[in-house]
């Protein structure tokens, strides 16, 4: 496991914004994982799951931004996974997992961009991971 040091190099910021997300594996055993985001940006999302997900695994995502519009449905792939330390009080031994969006329609991309910009303007914390 390595520590994440990409926060200051990130071209597209992510904001801490918990919303509901459903992951479905595109390959192998059909599986559905219901979870929430740790943070979200216009190019990807970090989710917390209770097991490691294989690197580069393609996934279908359904994101509920908790706004009045419908869910965003898109495709992505797992680009990193880090197990939390066993001494963490909040979700010990869970995995923070980074998913990069790969196929997002233009309307969904606009919604993601709008919500991230609005949250930053409102002072939401920019994620370090």
Q: What is the CATH number of the domain that holds 111?
A: 2.40.10.220
In this structure, is residue 38 part of a structural domain? yes
Q: What is the pLDDT of residues 80-109, one digit of tens each?
A: 999 887 766 666 678 999 999 999 999 999
How far are the Cα atoms of 7, 55, 105, 107, 114 from residue 96, in angstroms, in the given order?
15, 12, 26, 27, 25
Q: What is the pLDDT of residues 102-124, one digit of tens each?
A: 999 999 999 999 989 988 898 88
Number of domains in the chain: 1
**pLDDT above 70 coverage of the chain, percent:** 84
In this structure, is residue 103 part of a structural domain? yes
Grouping H, G, I as helix, E, B as strand and the rest as coil, residue 7 is helix
pTM for this one?
A: 0.82
In this structure, is residue 51 part of a structural domain? yes
In this structure, is residue 63 part of a structural domain? yes
The whole domain housing 31 covers 10-121
């Amino acid at each position: 496991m390595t520590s994440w040091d990409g926060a200051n190099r990130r071209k597209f910021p992510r904001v801490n914004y918990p919303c509901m997300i459903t992951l479905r594996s595109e390959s192998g055993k059909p599986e559905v994982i219901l979870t929430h985001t740790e943070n979200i940006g216009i190019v990807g999302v970090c989710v917390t799951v209770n097991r490691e997900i294989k690197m580069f695994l393609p996934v279908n995502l359904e994101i509920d931004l908790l706004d009045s519009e419908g869910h965003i449905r898109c495709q992505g792939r797992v680009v990193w996974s880090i197990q939390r330390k066993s001494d963490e009080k909040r979700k010990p031994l869970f995995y923070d997992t980074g998913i990069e969006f790969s196929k997002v329609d233009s309307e969904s991309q606009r919604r993601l961009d709008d919500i991230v910009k609005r949250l930053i303007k409102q002072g939401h914390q920019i994620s370090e991971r």
